[in-house]
Amino acid sequence: MKMNNLGRTGMRVSRICLGTMTFGEQNTEAEGHAQLDMAIDHGVNFIDTAEMYSFPASAETFGRSEEIVGTWMKKPGNREKVIVATKIVGPGSRFDHIRGGELDFSRASVRRAVEDSLRRLQTDVIDLYQTHWPERPVNKFGQLDFPHDEPEGDWVAFEELLEAMDDQVRAGNIRAYGVSNETPWGLMKMLAVSDTNNLPRIASIQNAYSLINRMFEVGLSEIALREDCGLLAYSPLSFGALTGKYLDGGLPNGSRHQLFPDFMRYFHERAVKATESYVTLARNHGLDPAQMAIAYVSTRPFVTSNIIGATSLEQLESNLDTENLVLSEDVLSGIEAIHNQHANPAP
């Protein structure tokens, strides 16, 4: 398994990261532990979770993914095998069940969220602690236009947020800080604040990236490369769409789209047309469409780690095997041709 630097932290993480948002909802504790064991056996050393997981967020299951990762890490010898990342949830009325609805990034909220995650993870330190999405109004989760007419509300200044993270670093509770679902403006402003004030420097940015959502390339890839702040790419299979299993009306029983049909980011007409083209390309070259999609993301120069997820060991093994898949020039040329025809249909 190839290892990459996690920003300027000195930590090195596997090019493939195991995402755990299915743990506690679609996967039991035993199944989650089996996935972790398999990932480690394949050379993975990077695990990603969040306080709001399981997905979809609910009062019944929030924190459950961290707990399952925690019971696995508590087994003898496991903690030292992994670099574990988790996240503090941002504002949103759907998450009022978390921390009594106190969902800002103030010192008090960060301290409480870190302490809660440490307890659930059964560890003394979180290796990478991330804001799950910005407090301020931004165009995130597929929204294209900047919401300039939305009320600004109160949001914690970047200096105070970074000072809150610095408190946790100095306390020995976290080792590094990252962001998720962040914008070019936010990333550059925070990097400037950290550099000017000798505060924790952002180590990574976790945003969506896949064959049908390459928006990261437009404004963020240059920052990732020049500032040593690489992408932790989530949804490389676009909610499973790029496997091809949902084409022609397919809706496998127990699949994510069947269970959670309201999440339509990757399933509208333009996205489906692009997906059809990518699936056909893969099959014409004797490739599994899902493996082609994951392998493409893993090899992008601005990607630090590619976050994969699965609900079965068979899916997980297939995803992990992409580490050894080399895409030919013909395949890469075909991908670019499709991208030029169907650019970013599911941002």
What are the tens digits of pLDDT across the range 142-179? 888 888 888 888 899 999 999 999 999 999 999 999 99
**Is 23 within 8 Å of 54 (Cβ atoms)?**
yes
> Higher pLDDT residue, 228 or 142?
228
**pLDDT at residue 255 in the model:** 72
Look up the CATH superfamily of 3-206: NADP-dependent oxidoreductase domain (3.20.20.100)
pLDDT on residue 141: 85
Dump pLDDT digits (tens) for 272-310.
999 999 999 999 999 999 999 999 999 999 999 999 999
Residue 17's DSSP bridge partners are: 307
Q: Indicate whether 262 pLDDT > 80.
A: no
pLDDT of residue 307: 98
Residues sharing a CB contact under 8 Å with residue 296, sequence separation 6 or more, in sequence order: 211, 327, 332, 335
Q: pTM of the predicted model, to two decimals?
A: 0.96
Residue 251 confidence (pLDDT) above 90: no
- How much of the chain, in percent, has pLDDT values that exceed 90? 88
Q: Do the strands 230-233 and 303-308 form a parallel or antiparallel pair, or are they unpaired? A: parallel
Task: Reply yes or no on whether the pLDDT at 257 is more than 80.
Answer: no
**Interval 247-267 mean pLDDT:** 79
Q: Where are the domains of the chain?
A: 3-206
Q: Check 53, 177, 266, 278 and give the catalytic one.
A: 53
Give the model's pLDDT for residue 46: 98
pLDDT value at residue 148: 82
Those residues whose C-beta lies under 8 Å from the C-beta of residue 65, and which sit 6 or more positions away, are 20, 21, 22, 23, 24, 32, 49, 50, 53, 54
Percent of the chain with pLDDT over 70: 99
Q: How far is CA 134 from CA 83, 180, 206, 234, 341, in A?
A: 24, 8, 12, 17, 32
Q: How confident is the model at residue 93 (pLDDT cuts 50, 70, 90)?
A: confident
pLDDT of residue 152: 80
Q: Can 53 be counted among the known catalytic residues?
A: yes
- pLDDT for the residue 265: 84
Q: What is the model's pLDDT at position 45?
A: 98
pLDDT at 252 over 80: no
In this prediction, residue 125 carries a pLDDT of: 98
- Decide if 131 contacts 176 (C-beta within 8 A): no
| Least confident interval from 126-130, 168-172, 221-225, 249-253 | 249-253
- Averaged pLDDT for residues 261-279: 91
